[in-house]
Structure 1
Amino acid sequence: MSQELLAIIEQIEREKGIKKEVLIEAVESALLSAAKRVIDLKPDEEFRVELDRNSGKIRAYRNEEEVTSIDFGRIAASTARQVIIQKMREAEKDVIFNEFQGRVGEIVSGTVYRFEKGNIVIDLLGKAEGILVKREQSHKEEFKQGQRIRALLLDVKKESRGAQIILSRTHPNLVKKLFELEVPEIYEGIVEVKSISRQAGERTKISVYSKNDKVDSVGACVGMRGNRVRNIVNELYGEKIDIVRFNEDIREYIKNALSPAKVSEIKLDKEKLKAEVIVEDDQLSLAIGKHGQNVRLASRLIGWELDIRTKAVQEQDQEKEKAEKALSLGEEETVTVEKAKKKTKKAKKVLASLEGLPGLGEKTIGALKDAGINSLAELVDAGQEGLMKVKGIGEKKAAKLIADAKKLK
């Protein structure tokens, strides 16, 4: 039994990757619990069980003295079996989790196992099951049970039932990893992938840069007769791939990113990372792309906001801007004239009132208003005799007031 137990443990280590020491310690722990149930052990006594790593013999010690009265053969058979099965399950979960945790961000291969509520369960070569959730699936891809599939390992979560392995077919890094597999220059670091923007199932833009002047970055990615990029397109079920040459000059980079459209002029706002791109009328649809796809992906690729305009629209905007400035200046002049008119009107109003008469004090004005004379016209109509009835106004003053009022009236 002893040698047989060791042989089983070593076989499990080889096949399942569970360390031999982990299994031996688990068996010792289980045998200890089983042995305590069959012997009379006092609370203050020490008791331990050891499994010899070389011979496989099981020994028990009470207070460091070997106990020979226990029949470990019968106990070990059932106990070891239960413990090994349990430990195998636990260890397998840890082994799977650790293995796939270290592969996050890499491409994994498997076969379609089953479909669950829109999700696809992938058998990862018998080691584990991965799940391709609906949101990580491309709408243009369809898979059948048993079909071979490659996906990006997005995340690994530790759960009670085991490791949950999340896969993706829509992540931009899937394209990057496919290029690493197909293009040796990228894998070796000669050609660097600077940026990727992707609309899964439709189109991807990938910018590349060569660290070696003798190696053409775009040519290396395309391959002889387009073989390399064609293999990736086939893997992505016909998704279009634009390989963009990276350039430190942002104007050239924008032109490359908007390819195949031809750019006439670029105006940059470096503070806001915005660019106004001017194209000919016949290049507008190419620059924008279907449903704005080309400009949107180019914008994501370079990290700038791009505004595509034709020359005609640019000229219209310039004319509109000039008209708005002229209108603004005209409105300012109008406001100034209106203010002047109001001031003149106000001055005339003051002059037409009693307050506009020279040499007339507040008391006299108050006396005139008490007598029912509130304006210059009423003052003239009152006549000299009428004014002389007002307190403080004599004959000469009345005549002078009437003469002055006629001048201002």
Structure 2
Amino acid sequence: MAVSANRLELLQIADAVAREKSIDRMVVIEAMQDAIEKAAKARYGAETEIKAEINPRSGELRMWRLLEIVDEVEEPSRQVNLKYAQSKNGNAKIGDFLTEPLPPIEFGRIAAQSAKQVIVQKVRDAERDRMYEEYSGRIGEIVNGTVKRVEYGNVIVDLGRGEGIIRRDELIPREQFRYGDRVRAYIYDVRREQRGPQIFLSRTHPQFMAKLFMQEVPEIYDGIITIRSIARDPGSRAKIAVTSSDSSIDPVGACVGMRGSRVQAVVGELQGEKIDIIPWTDNIADLVVSALQPADVAKVVLDEQAERIEVVVPDEQLSLAIGRRGQNVRLASQLIGWDIDILTEQEESERRQKEFTERSALFMEALDVDEMVAQLLASEGFSSVEELAYIELDEIASIEGFDEETAAEIQNRAVEYLAEIDRKFDEERVALGVEDELYEISGLTAAMLVALGKEDIKTVEDFAGCAADDLVGWTERKDGELKRFEGTFKDFPVSREEAEEMILQARLKAGWITEDELAQQQGEAGDEEAAV
């Protein structure tokens, strides 16, 4: 049995397939051309080079055999000599191809089946490319779909022109879907895979909530209100921080809506997830007070270098501030991006008393003074012997009950105490083999050199090879939480800028950089600061 198709049928088939699969008509026509070429090779020989072309307007099919022009023919089915080629075309030259028209062929059953497989595969590849291009450009959007099936807790969603998957961990807890249910989800990733493009959807992603608010709140859609941060415990509770570029519009009120209509629409979509909407501010202290609502905050202490916040709350507010299973403080921490420690007023008082006792004991031992003098120094805010040794004498003398003579004696004892400690550290430094030359780097003390020696940093070259992170430590965010990694100078009050300056001095001393290069680097750093 032979199969043939007239011109009109070829174009009708191409149009029908292109409409059904939502792909370009020319892709289908090119697939047909590839299929015809494969069928023709089955008839004329697999080694034969054949070109088929379907006119996209008339549907006319033409075929040629391509023969490479060579000096000496080795494969008669693929090559032709120059003399013969020039008899057909006077301009022919070595390396060109001579074309010979071939008559239309009728497809046998096997050839027709083979051609069908080629067309099906080409169309499937084109359909996959079309789907990937369409949905990869829609990452970050909300899509609506119908549940097609549920497999091992994963929900397969029919999106109309594609198929997406909501994995079990991207579903809101206790959420159940059945075949035919309508579902809204957020496209967070599209990947090319062996079995075709995979569209990954989520209902737990923080941006799913942001996009829902954008649909419900026109001011967000128009860009008047901006969502600055979101923290979610899917299906349970969420915190969202918003700000307005128009001072006449209350961002929180706009998101809540009349009688809570706007926020309730989002809550309904998220299976009753409670949402706290707070006003964003660049003042971290004010922001943490708002983020910990409904708990009252008595005091906030910031550690900007470690990005850690210490919050003091009334004793009866502790459980409210922490929340059920730590939910309230965890969401507040995620919203702000800083770690938050919660203390009660009693705990803070006990800690302050402990610190006062420890400082008093330190002054009694270091300065050889009685308890009353030590407590007086501690109560005046002095926290270390270094402060007493290097502070202006008048500040000590101004303490009630002290005169200049007493102040001078206290300062002398502080200096002698620190000198003795330095002597002991210097002995330890020598024992560790740390070079004296490191003393020439401004800012380094004997205690610091001991710490460096314990890390096997013993020469100027060793120190020049350090990075600021090695000395002062660094922080990394893992699984939504900040993790602190300590540096060699963890026990010393050295800032990152001071550490970088010390390292530059060492590199200059070691000959790694010149004075001119150092001046240029410092000048560039100054320009950057001025630009900021």
Place the TM-score, normalised by the shorter chain, in its bin: 0.7 to 0.9
Q: 1:33 maps to which residue?
A: 38
* 3-state SS in 1 of match to 2:135: helix
Instruction: For 2:61, give the aligned amino acid.
Output: I
- Could you say which residue in structure 2 is the equivalent of 1:145? 179
**Aligned equivalent of 1:321:** 355
- The 8 Å contact of residues 58 and 72 in structure 1, kept in 2 or not, is answered as no
Report deviation, 1:96.
1.7
| 2:57 corresponding residue in structure 1 | 54
**Cα deviation, residue 256, structure 1:** 1.3
1:116 alignment partner, one of 140, 145, 151: 151
Deviation, structure 1 residue 196: 0.9
Question: How far has the Cα of 1:272 moved from its partner?
Answer: 2.3
Equivalence map 1:164-243=2 (5 Å)? 164-243=198-277
1:49 Cα deviation after fit: 2.1
1:133 corresponds to 2:138:
no
Q: Using a 3 Å threshold, how does the CA distance of structure 1 residues 203 and 84 change in structure 2: closer, same or farther? A: same
CA distance in structure 2 between the partners assigned to 1:293 and 1:201 by the alignment:
13
Aligned position for 1:2: 7
1:325 to 1:182, Cα distance in 2 relative to 1, 3 A? same
Contact 2:52 2:61 (8 Å CA) reproduced: yes
Query: In 2, Cα distance between the equivalents of 1:255 and 1:166?
Result: 36
Partners of 1:332 and 1:40 lie apart in 2 by: 101
CA shift, 1:285, in A, is 2.1
How far has the Cα of 1:217 moved from its partner?
Answer: 0.8
Residue aligning to 2:331: 297
The equivalent of 2:423 in structure 1 is none
Give the distance between the partners of 2:229 and 2:215, measured in 1 at CA.
17
Assess if the C-alpha contact under 8 Å between 1:138 and 1:170 holds in 2. Answer: yes
TM-score w.r.t. the length of structure 1 is: 0.74
Specify whether residues 81 and 5 from structure 1 end up closer, same or farther in structure 2 by C-alpha distance, changes over 3 A only.
Answer: farther
Q: For 1:51, give the aligned amino acid.
A: I
Deviations 1:197-250 (A, max 9, x none): 111121111111101112211111111111111011111101111111001222
Cα distance in 2 for partners of 1:15, 1:41 equals 33
Q: Distance in 2 between matches of 1:321 and 1:12?
A: 80
SS at match of 1:115: strand
SS in 2 for 1:262: coil
Give aligned-pair identity as a percent.
46
Secondary structure of the equivalent of 1:162? coil
User: Within the alignment, does 1:21 sit opposite 2:26 as a pair?
Assistant: yes
> 1:94 maps to which residue?
129
Amino acid at match of 1:151: A
| Cα separation, 2, equivalents of 1:35 and 1:314 | 88
Q: 2:118 aligns with which of 74, 83, 97?
A: 83
State whether residues 231 and 238 of structure 2, in contact with CA within 8 Å, keep that contact through their aligned partners in structure 1. yes
Task: Quote the residue 1:355 is aligned against.
Answer: none
Distance 1:149 1:316, change over 3 A: same
Compute the TM-score of the two structures, normalised by the length of structure 2. Answer: 0.58
User: How far apart are the structure 2 equivalents of 1:48 and 1:216?
Assistant: 69
- Cα deviation digits, residues 53-77 of structure 1 (max 9, x gap): 2111112234445334x33577996
C-alpha displacement at 1:148, in angstroms? 1.4
The amino acid of 1:55's aligned partner reads S
Per-residue deviation at 1:276?
2.1
**Structure 2 Cα separation of the partners of residues 28 and 253 of structure 1:** 65
8 Å contact 1:2–1:56 — kept in the other structure?
A: yes
Deviations 1:134-157, CA, capped at 9 Å, x for gaps: 222222322233221111212222
Letter in 2 for 1:53: P
- CA displacement at 1:175 relative to structure 2: 0.9
- Number of residue pairs matched? 332
**Pair 1:35–1:216, CA change in 2 (3 A):** same
Aligned-residue Cα RMSD (Å) equals 2.6
CA contact (8 A) 2:39 2:112 kept: no
Q: How does 1:221-370 map to 2 (within 5 A)?
A: 221-330=255-364
User: Displacement, 1:50?
Assistant: 1.8
Assess if the C-alpha contact under 8 Å between 2:38 and 2:115 holds in 1.
no
8 Å CA contact 1:196–1:205 kept in 2: the answer is yes
User: C-alpha offsets along residues 26-83 of structure 1, whole Å, 9 cap, x if unaligned?
Assistant: 212221232233348996xx64322112111112234445334x33577996665443
Q: Name the counterpart of 2:73.
A: none
Whole-angstrom CA distance in 1 between matches of 2:16 and 2:244: 50
Task: Return the alpha-carbon distance in structure 2 between the equivalents of residues 39 and 310 of structure 1.
Answer: 90
Shift of 1:9: 0.7
Aligned residue number for residue 104 of structure 1: 139
* Distance in 1 between residues matched to 2:149 and 2:30, nearest whole Å: 38
Give the match's secondary structure for 2:354. helix
Q: Which amino acid aligns with 1:318?
A: R
In 1, the alpha carbon distance for the partners of 2:127 and 2:328 equals 47
Structure 2 counterpart of 1:3, one-letter code? L
What code does the residue aligned with 1:29 have?
A: D
Gaps of 5+ in 2: 1-5, 66-97, 369-532
CA distance in 2, matches of 1:39, 1:308: 83
1:271 alignment partner AA: Q
Matched AA of 1:95 = R
* One-letter amino acid of the counterpart of residue 277, structure 1: V
**Is the partner of 1:255 in helix, strand or coil?**
helix
Is the 2:232–2:239 contact (alpha carbons within 8 Å) kept by the matching residues of 1?
A: yes
CA 1:224–1:34: 2 relative to 1, 3 Å: same
Q: CA deviation at 1:3?
A: 0.8
Q: Does the CA-based 8 Å contact 2:230-2:335 persist in structure 1? A: yes
Distance 2:179 2:101 in 1: 59
Q: Give the Cα separation in 2 of the matches to 1:176 and 1:158.
A: 27
In our comparison, the structure showing a higher alpha carbon Rg is 1
Deviations 1:72-109 (A, max 9, x none): 57799666544332222222222222222112222222
The Cα of 1:4 is off from its aligned counterpart by 1.4
Quick one: which amino acid aligns to residue 316 of structure 1? Answer: E
